[in-house]
């Protein structure tokens, strides 16, 4: 199942244009607000050079990459948490997302109206964040009275942890802070995960810039108000218009030539996909069995038996051991047999922590 990233932002910031570039889809993208009503959903493959090298070496009958699902909802406005601009529905559409990509307008174009009349990335970010916080506060405060009755009836209820976590969150959100910043314990976070709190989700910011800034490097000097206080590690600078032009090109050769002409090393959407993948704290491992090569997503610090369960539950229950090699070591050696003869093939037990780029062959009993 693909992990889900929600695209959020004000109207006319270029979300749908970026979505189309990501998915090569046909979401409506116009210069007027709310051209997106129903959410646009697309699943995209995660760019993976290691997988490409393994495919070239192993020549499998099929090769499957990891994926991310992107959901593009209509632009949010002030009052979205109270239903302005159908905001309640749009917010509901992304409650199930694992992370958010917040698209911020950093281009000035008189032909594309700004809902607040002027270009101010820092203000625009605050508008969206405030609406997410207010929407979460409504969810939390609606749940608290019911939980209060449960705890009063049964002081030893298993839901006490949930109740206390929501009380803490209510205070945090009422003060204008995000759920992400709340000092909840790991256990408390798990207790309230089902609420899908929007301001608890990890966020990556995309500065949607014009053509010239997109080719001038990646330090963000063209939009200091956006980058100040966020840090370059949390912001990607992408020209959605350029990315859409690249996506419309018919062949990989044409796309490469276009990038070279623009002075770009790679597509911005490839950086976005990888960054979204990293934002979720994921690593990739690989399997090759029955002539099928497949990449798998895993949370970092996952043990080998759990990784086997990602492939099939029977493999976790019956896990015996795994033979493991780094993908690059396998490519360099040329075959699994050569790795074994060189003593570079490791045998690992169920508690082995899988590393990014591992190739695994799992031995298990049915």
Where in the chain are the domains? 282-364
Do residues 132 and 181 make contact, with C-beta atoms less than 8 angstroms apart?
A: no
Tell me, what's the pLDDT at 252?
Answer: 85
pLDDT, tens digit, 9 for 90 and up, residues 40-64? 888 888 989 999 999 999 999 999 9
Tell me, what's the pLDDT at 362?
Answer: 95
pLDDT, tens digit, 9 for 90 and up, residues 87-96? 466 678 888 8
Residue 18 gets which letter from DSSP?
Answer: H
Question: Under 8 Å CB-to-CB from 109, ≥6 apart: which residues?
Answer: 210
Q: The whole model's pTM is what?
A: 0.85
CA Rg value for the chain: 23
Tell me, what's the pLDDT at 101?
Answer: 94
pLDDT, tens digit, 9 for 90 and up, residues 27-46? 555 444 444 456 788 888 89
Please state the rounded mean pLDDT for residues 68-79.
82
Angle formed at CA 61 by CA 324 and CA 294, multiple of 5 degrees: 40
Cα separation, 325 vs 346, whole angstroms: 6
- Tell which CATH architecture fits domain 282-364: Roll (3.10)
Is the pLDDT confidence value at 297 over 70? yes
Is the pLDDT confidence value at 221 over 50? no
Of 234, 273, 275, the closest CA to residue 23 belongs to: 273
Least confident of 59-63, 220-224, 340-344: 220-224
pLDDT, tens digit, 9 for 90 and up, residues 166-210? 999 999 999 999 999 999 999 999 999 999 999 999 999 999 987
Percent of the chain clearing pLDDT 90 (strictly above): 57
Count of C-beta atoms within a 10 Å radius of residue 161: 15
Is the pLDDT confidence value at 261 over 70? yes
pLDDT, tens digit, 9 for 90 and up, residues 238-257? 999 899 889 888 888 999 89
Tell me, what's the pLDDT at 329?
Answer: 95
Name the helix (H) or strand (E) containing 8. strand 3-8
Residue 46 gets which letter from DSSP?
Answer: P
Tell me, what's the pLDDT at 98?
Answer: 92
């Amino acid at each position: 199942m693909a992990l889900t990233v929600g695209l959020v932002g004000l109207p006319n910031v270029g979300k749908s244009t970026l979505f189309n570039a990501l998915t090569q889809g046909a979401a409506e993208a116009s210069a007027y607000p709310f051209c997106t009503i129903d959410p646009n959903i697309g699943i995209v493959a995660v760019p993976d050079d290691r997988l490409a090298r393994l495919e070239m070496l192993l020549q499998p009958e099929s090769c499957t990459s990891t994926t991310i699902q992107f959901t593009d909802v209509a632009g949010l406005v002030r009052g979205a948490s109270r239903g302005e601009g159908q905001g309640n529905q749009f917010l509901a559409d992304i409650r199930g997302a694992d992370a958010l990509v917040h698209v911020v307008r950093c281009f000035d174009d008189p032909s594309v109206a700004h809902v607040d009349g002027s270009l101010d990335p820092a203000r625009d970010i605050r508008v969206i964040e405030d609406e997410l916080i207010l929407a979460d506060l409504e969810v939390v405060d609606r749940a608290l009275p019911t939980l209060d009755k449960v705890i009063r009836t049964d002081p030893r209820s298993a839901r006490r942890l949930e109740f206390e976590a929501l009380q803490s969150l209510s205070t945090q959100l009422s003060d204008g802070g995000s759920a992400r910043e709340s000092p909840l314990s790991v256990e408390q976070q798990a207790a309230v995960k089902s609420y899908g709190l929007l301001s608890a989700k990890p966020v990556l910011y995309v500065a949607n810039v014009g053509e010239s800034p997109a080719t001038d490097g990646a330090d963000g000097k063209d939009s200091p108000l956006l980058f100040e206080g966020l840090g370059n590690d949390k912001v990607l600078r992408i020209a959605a218009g350029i990315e859409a032009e690249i996506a419309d090109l018919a062949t990989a050769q044409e796309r490469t030539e276009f990038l070279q002409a623009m002075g770009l090393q790679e597509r911005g959407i490839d950086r976005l996909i990888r960054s979204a993948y990293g934002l979720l704290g994921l690593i990739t491992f690989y399997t090759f069995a029955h002539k099928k090569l497949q990449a798998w997503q895993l949370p970092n610090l996952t043990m080998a038996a759990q990784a086997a369960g990602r492939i099939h539950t029977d493999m976790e229950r019956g896990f015996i051991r795994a033979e493991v090699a780094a993908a690059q070591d396998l490519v360099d050696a040329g075959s699994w047999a050569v790795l074994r003869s060189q003593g570079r093939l490791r045998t690992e037990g169920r508690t082995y922590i899988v590393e990014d780029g591992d190739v695994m062959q799992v031995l298990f009993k049915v």
